Amino acid sequence: MKTTGSETTKLSQGDNGDVQSLDRESQPILKAHSPLHYIQYILVGIFFGILLVKGEVISWFRIQEMFRFQSFHMYGVIGSAVLTGMISILLLKKFHVKALNGESMVFPVKKFSKGNIYGGLLFGFGWAMTGACPGPLYAQIGTGAVVVIFTLLSAIAGTWVYGLLQKKLPH
Amino acid sequence: MKELLDALSNPWPWYIVGPLIGLTVPLLLVLGNKSFGISSTLRHICAACVPMDIPFFQYPWRKEIWNLIFVAGIFIGAIIATTTLRSQEPIQVTDELRAELATYGITNMNGLVPTDLFNLHNLFTLKGFILMIVGGFLVGFGTRYAGGCTSGHAITGLSNLQWPSLIATICFMIGGIVVANFVLPYILRL
């Protein structure tokens, strides 16, 4: 509750303080934060969840086949997804497309750290065991594999422990 | 309508699913200037529920609620895909893998998650504990340490030509290949 309060003050402060972040918040897109605005994300999520299941991307078996080079399926999915994403971003940049709320698009920049390597390997180990990356964990539960709730809780615990140890880990 | 449902109920080929997954990236950008990345939701859940005094969880997570709503959608989508769009065909598993798994007593292929391994009873066995709890922990710890998962690095990052994402993706694959081929056989024998 306290945070909500301070956020509201922040919103009404206009151009004081952290200009960059306030800029986004203080524009007349305030209506963008109404509950109705969130419906679009649940719709995209539903669409994405259906894709994950119908494409068998969340299949433990498909993941094993991928890591054992027994099937092309997952390579086809990931490869064509990356290609489509790449072409899309290229076009969005080329034509300076703006987001629907009028903002200039922010394309995610990833900074290198040794965590990309260590963390990447550790995630790879977990991916092979559970047959799921984070998105599929949510989807697997939806397919009725209720026990995966425990895997998800453990993943949340893993993220929490990372947060706890962050400063002590090599980056 | 019924024919359409029937057609949609069959498993979808990679060349349909892959491009549609890729289109999620521009879709989220256009709709709300949002970056597609799912492992961050695990962090938001920590920040919302158990931030303690850990600096890593002190940030305005409420701004990221859209992402939590997105993953709630994934959950609902999966329910729809397994009920309304339920496939009449058995799930696809190559003969090679099928034969190999049979040697470990894994024969039930009715679901996308093998119930022979992932069930409540197994949670209390060493095998199940390693696969579900240790595996889950590594997914959560590893993705945050790596700064993203398959969606944030492999799809969004590579789409935006971020070389750290390429390194992360290669490491995901190396980690998975090593465990699937050289470690998992021992775990499955437990």
Dump the DSSP string for B75-129.
HHHHHHHHTTT--SSPPP--HHHHHHHHTTT----SSSS-TTTSSTGGGGSHHHI
Predicted pLDDT at B2: 82
Structure tokens at B4: 């359409």
Among A88, A128, A157, select the one facing B176 at the smallest CB separation. A128
Average pLDDT, rounded, for chain A: 86
- Residue with more model confidence, A26 or B151: B151
Among B26, B62, B118, select the one facing A88 at the smallest CB separation. B26
pTM: 0.89
Q: Is B7 exposed, middle or buried (0-12, 13-18, 19+ CB in 10 A)?
A: exposed
Look up the ipTM and state it: 0.96
Predicted pLDDT at B4: 87
Residues in chain B with CB shorter than 8 Å from the CB of A42 are 69-70, 72-73, 76
Mutate to test the interface with B, among A162, A166, A167 (most CBs of B within 10 A): A162
Structure tokens at A165: 């140890």
State the smallest CA–CA distance between residue B105 and chain A in angstroms: 14
Specify whether the CB–CB gap between A17 and A9 falls below 8 A.
no
| Contact: A89, B160; criterion CB under 8 Å | yes
Distance CA A7, CA A85 (A): 34
Residues in chain A with CB shorter than 8 Å from the CB of B142 are 119-126, 158
Predicted pLDDT at A90: 97
Specify whether the CB–CB gap between A115 and B146 falls below 8 A.
yes
Predicted pLDDT at A32: 52
Distance CA A27, CA A168 (A): 39
Chain-centroid distance of CA A79 in Å reads 18
pLDDT digits over A76-98, tens only?
999 999 999 999 999 999 999 99
- Who's near B55: CB < 8 A, 6+ residues apart? none
Predicted pLDDT at A97: 95
Q: Which of residues 83-142 of B touch A (CB under 8 A)?
A: 85, 87, 91-94, 96-97, 101, 109, 111-115, 117-120, 123, 130-142
Specify whether the CB–CB gap between A85 and B26 falls below 8 A.
yes
Predicted pLDDT at A33: 63
Mutate to test the interface with A, among B39, B101, B112 (most CBs of A within 10 A): B112
**What is the average pLDDT across A16-43?**
61
Residues in chain A with CB shorter than 8 Å from the CB of B154 are 78, 82
Among B73, B140, B184, select the one facing A42 at the smallest CB separation. B73
Structure tokens at A106: 């922010």
- pLDDT tens, residue order, chain B (190 aa): 788 888 889 889 999 999 999 999 999 999 999 999 999 999 999 999 999 999 999 999 999 999 999 999 999 999 999 999 998 888 889 999 999 999 999 999 989 999 999 999 999 999 999 999 999 999 999 999 999 999 999 999 999 999 999 999 999 999 999 999 999 999 999 9
Residue B5 touches partner A, C-beta closer than 8 Å: no
